[in-house]
Amino acid sequence: MIFVSRSEKETFNFAKSLSDKIKPGNIFLVEGNLGVGKSVFIRGAARGLGVKDSMPSPSFTIVNEYIGKFPVYHFDFYRINNPVELFEIGFEEYIYSNGVSFIEWPSKAGELLPVKCIKVKIDFKNDERVINIKWKE
């Protein structure tokens, strides 16, 4: 699935529209360069899942938890230096739960990520964000 967004609002609304396809236990690996709209995409999906809270980036806390239709976990691994650090926050307990996990900078997790993940790649080209989603549940 490919979507071309021309604004932050379009990115948010597109992600929000996907919420009816999201199921408990889904894990989204959200990749893209700094400032490309990863957090905007995650906020939109979370809003579609009923999360009412504002959602600041979890850059310094690694994970933020929210309640909507089911638990929503927003991870940001940008500051992770070693995947072993994820054990300290109980990473596996989050991703193998009945919540939905959104992970920014997933490559920092190394081999700790499960095989069955939904990959979201956001690229910025010519004032447009190209959002490519591979649903491999």
Tell me the per-residue pLDDT of 75-111, one tens digit each, with 9 for 90 and over.
999 989 899 889 888 999 999 999 999 999 999 998 8
- CA proximity to 19, closest of 57, 47, 58: 47
* CA distance linking residue 85 with residue 95, whole number of Å: 15
pTM of the model: 0.92
- Six-digit token pair at 120? 């979201």
Sign of CA pseudo-dihedral 56, 57, 61, 67: positive
- Provide the 8-state DSSP code for 83: T
d(CA 26, CA 137): 7
Strand locations in 23-99 (E): 27-31, 63-67, 71-76
Residue 119 tokens read as 């990959």
pLDDT band at 115 (very low <50, low <70, confident <90, very high): confident
- Domain 2-135 maps to which CATH number in 3.90.228.20, 3.40.50.720, 3.40.50.300, 1.20.120.160? 3.40.50.300
Average pLDDT of the residues in 38-50: 95
Confidence of residue 43 (pLDDT cuts 50, 70, 90): very high
